[in-house]
Chains A and B, each alone.
Chain A
């Protein structure tokens, strides 16, 4: 079953074509990576899919619905979640409050003004589960901005999974991490995806990781798709090697 599909998706800024006629089809349960050199349009593609920017042209279908032009929060409500390349957690709130905000989004009482936020027990339980999954359950009441960088990156992912997504878009989840953290983070993502049963769309620079975790890989260059396939096929693809990898794999 296809969970995400784009049809000649295009974004132009004046004369600059950031995303060029992209056709993407992601199956449910898959871990799909998107790779490409800097400026290939990866983050812009994420912005278009999540509704943070409107496309110039093309359609996006998510989970059977056309979501083109829909507001980003509406798309999120349908089960699409994302993390950001530059950590964007709620620094002034505690770790628990961070995930609680994400977890209460599906609760009918999410905009109640008179209840105690900590009194929503299902939300609280769900949030604690997420903290346990990302390994921060030992410090739920610490302010997010007081965490070390690596832990904030984990919280970044925790926020994105706490609202029970069907599709999770991860924008360089390991950016700035050492190799040890990188590995453990990626294992965490794989585990979360399996346990919580969501599809992953991943932007990642570290090609070793990409090759290890991905079911399929899409390669972008200058906004357009130049190759797509399972890791092995991409590794062997000459176009990719020439245009982007510059013989790294050889």
Chain B
């Protein structure tokens, strides 16, 4: 029996969380509303706010000053970030915006680790807000931390302030008008692009404020932004992207579902939020209060040039395979078996990057959830070999099929939502699987993971480094050849057509959702094979295989190598694993460099390593004018076109 006091206390707990989510989601929503950008660095800015707050307190000793200064500083960081990067590429596909902010997230996180250290920091509650407030009524006896009551009040205050800012000031008026139609605002003699920067700074400052407010109650650590970013995504998905009111309602709802769910259905701890999201997606895909209207321009991925995949049977292809076939002969002479093992790890990552390229580079679906396939593939493999058969190929097949089915299911639930929506939802789905991996410990071994017997195949020991090397090489080459074939097939043509214009493809008579689901299932299947081989390499699986970091790493590998080329992502995987193995031992903050690479690639070589020969051969001046020249003109023209398209419908 739950006492009334406990119930009220839990309501307050839920409200505290809800207010926190609200502050984060509000910033995200504000930025998206004006710029159509989903800021993956938002969680990192929140964390930065907490750390800067810590330093301000360290210098001034005042929590109140921290609450004022830290958000301003974070706002400045946001503005600088926008001016240096996003500002020049608003006319690009949203995929690049997402990847750029992802790179920025890595840089901020590593920067914070460098300055403040990787350990969690202590942030004490200001003295005036310490202690508990007590309330006694007939049935109720509640004592509650004063700070958390303050947090609720402060959060509501900030939300009202933002609302007022947009509703009643000239700034708000211009921003709202600019979000609708930048061209018109420009005609009034206002430089909209400055407002883009201001809005980005405002969103960042909101995240910073949330960070300072959260710090005394949650722990301050470099990873504090990760989980909250996912919740913020779920909040805007549930509330409706671009709807401030929707975010408010959804944030409070999620806070309450989390804390009351914990009390009433403890079995669902950690799942309730995801279940809420899935339910909303099924019933109202546009969100509780949102109107689903993603601008055409914000859903399209297209490339300036076509870089055809290298064919397996071409000279380059055959030469590469021949060289790789010879590698194990050098063991003990040129390198140790460890490096041969490392190459098979690269092959496995290459498969994952390849699978991602099929949906991202060829179909234009922004998946940030490929960790789900990697991890599920690995778990299915380990579980199969532990419980049913030690025949590795059977486990591999089962993993591939399971992941294909899961991908199809995720697709069926969320594929009608394109663009940035899809990116957020796939991320959330992968986190759901991560949660299952952690929580369902009877089957998955929980956080500890599962150990697997050394893989076997018809009496061959796959635990042998060289044997496993040839196995992964063969599977990689086979999958690559098959993928090249599929993308040249009638099916592949339609997939590419969907990337170029989904509306047009549908108007020709294609059920585009069906094609998208199939392509996503295909990608999931290959991702599952990759995961299965990863388990075969590690002889071990743990929930980290399902963590969003894997999805991010896959995107990095794909981008590094060159999206939409099939062979590029494989090169990217090699470079990525090479960098992480090579640098991680020397440079503690190597992920900072990774983030920097990512940002530079988005800015200067959006087709990655595969396009480098061409990028370099062009004169720098030429490249500069192409990337930066009249960027304002371009993005405004683009928006005008977009607005015209929308105008058609009204």
Contacts and interface: CB of A to CB of B under 8 A. Distances in A.
A225 interface: no
A194 interface: no
A44 B646 CA distance: 11
A109 B490 contact: yes
B515 interface: yes
A90 B62 CA distance: 59
Contacts of B496: 90, 92-93, 97
B357 to A, nearest CB: 15
B171 to A, nearest CB: 27
12 contacts: A43-B648, A44-B650, A53-B649, A76-B506, A77-B509, A88-B503, A97-B496, A100-B493, A111-B494, A115-B490, A117-B489, A120-B490
Interface string A65-97: 000000111101100011011101111110001
A201 interface: no
Contacts of B295: none
Contacts of B641: 86
Contacts of A88: 501, 503-504
Contacts of A3: none
Contacts of B339: none
B500 A112 contact: no
Interface of A: 13, 16, 18, 39, 43-44, 47, 50, 52-53, 71-74, 76-77, 81-82, 84-86, 88-93, 97, 100-102, 104-107, 109-118, 120, 123, 143, 145, 159, 163
Contact of A114 (B489, B507, B518): B489
Contact of B490 (A76, A89, A91, A107): A107
Nearest to B509: A76
B303 interface: yes
B306 A143 contact: yes
A90 B508 CA distance: 12
B639 to A, nearest CB: 13
Given A44-B649, A82-B507, A101 B497 contact: yes
Contacts of A93: 493, 496-497, 500
Contact of B488 (A76, A77, A117, A145): A117
A73 B504 CA distance: 10
| Pairs A-B, 7 closest by C-beta atoms | A76-B509, A90-B500, A43-B648, A77-B509, A105-B509, A113-B491, A101-B497
Interface in B475-533: 485-486, 488-494, 496-497, 499-501, 503-512, 514-515, 518, 522
B648 A44 contact: yes
A85 B510 CA distance: 20
Interface-centre pick from A18, A47, A116 (highest chain B CB count, 10 A): A116
Contact of B648 (A85, A120, A159): A85
Contact of A90 (B489, B504, B511): B504
A101 B489 CA distance: 11
B302 interface: yes
B504 A72 contact: no
Contacts of B306: 92, 143
A111 B515 contact: yes
